[in-house]
Amino acid sequence: MTQLFRILAVSLPMLAATGANAAGTIDLIPASSWGASDAVLGLKPMVMIEDFEDTTLAAGLSVTSANGLGGYGPTGTLPRTFDPRPINLGGDDAFGSAFYSHPCGSGACTSVWDGSHVLLNTSNNNSMNYGTSTPWSDITFTFAGGATEVGFSLQQNELAINVYVNGAYFGTLPAASGGGRNGYYRFEITPSTGPGDAWTAPITTLRLDGDSRDAWTIDHLAFAPAVPEPGSLALFGAGLAALMARRLRRPTQG
């Protein structure tokens, strides 16, 4: 049975200042369930998945890399894809195998959740020398129209990562044990009507603000759009029209 740990993410100073009742949760599915299905992860049925297998991101999603050397975004097209295997195994990492085999020494520790590519927190989505003094980047996800739920796998962060939702501090993701797989995080916010509250659904931006010395990877990014895709709306409208037509054809009782 998959275990799930919950971190209550409430900024007490903000609540005291605004009088709002905003609250949110960060659910952690631990690394023992790496690669689990969306059903096991508890994701909403209508989530969209970005697996970073190509440079074109899912509709409504953009990524920003900042505070490193250069950066990119916000953009719906990545600079490149990143295969975490070392070059001698056909991957993209010219500096080692930290995102592929650490700490177990084999591909059983890969940062990939699904497919063969991940998102790396660098200015070009490619690896750097592990001992570099060049800062590693922060990553911000932006959701057009907002999202009611966001989830992703996290691997290799050896230091804690602060999370900001809609520009406000939301919580902290702890360091991975031994610098390997951390787990799968799912973010949700309870809507609030408090004045000045930044934590009202939907989630429009989610920023991962890690230590500049720390590298980490993201995969299987899931988000539930607050505004359904046009295709979903059309399907819903067609179903509603069919239901109405059926009711109109129903014979009246004499």
Structure-block tokens of residue 166: 């809609």
Q: Amino acid letter at 40?
A: V
pLDDT in tens, 189-200: 765 555 555 556
E runs forming strands in 69-202: 70-75, 119-120, 138-155, 161-165, 168-173, 181-190
Banded pLDDT at 232 (limits 50, 70, 90): very low
The rounded distance, in Å, linking the Cα atoms of 63 and 10 is: 25
CATH class, domain 5-227, is mainly beta
Q: Are strands 217-225 and 138-155 parallel, antiparallel or unpaired?
A: antiparallel
Residue 210 class from Cβ within 10 Å (0-12 exposed, 13-18 middle, 19+ buried)? buried
Between 58-67, 124-133, 204-213, 221-230, the lowest mean confidence (pLDDT) is in: 221-230
- Stated as kind and residue range, the H or E segment containing 41 is helix 38-41
Bridge partners for 5 per DSSP: 28
* β-pair partners for 172: 162
How many percent of the chain have pLDDT more than 70? 76
Q: Regarding predicted confidence, which is higher, 101 or 248? A: 101
The DSSP bridge partners found for residue 224 are: 149
Vertex 198: Cα angle to 9 and 66 (nearest 5): 85
Flag whether pLDDT at 219 surpasses 80: yes
> Would you place residue 236 in the very low, low, confident or very high pLDDT band (cuts 50, 70, 90)?
very low
Predicted pLDDT at 3? 60
Both tokens of 167, joined, read: 């520009």
Alpha carbon distance 177, 10 (integer Å): 24
Is 1's pLDDT higher than 50? no
239's enclosing H/E stretch is: helix 230-249
What confidence score (pLDDT) does residue 87 get? 97
Stated pTM of the model: 0.82
Tell me which of 113 and 5 has the higher pLDDT: 113
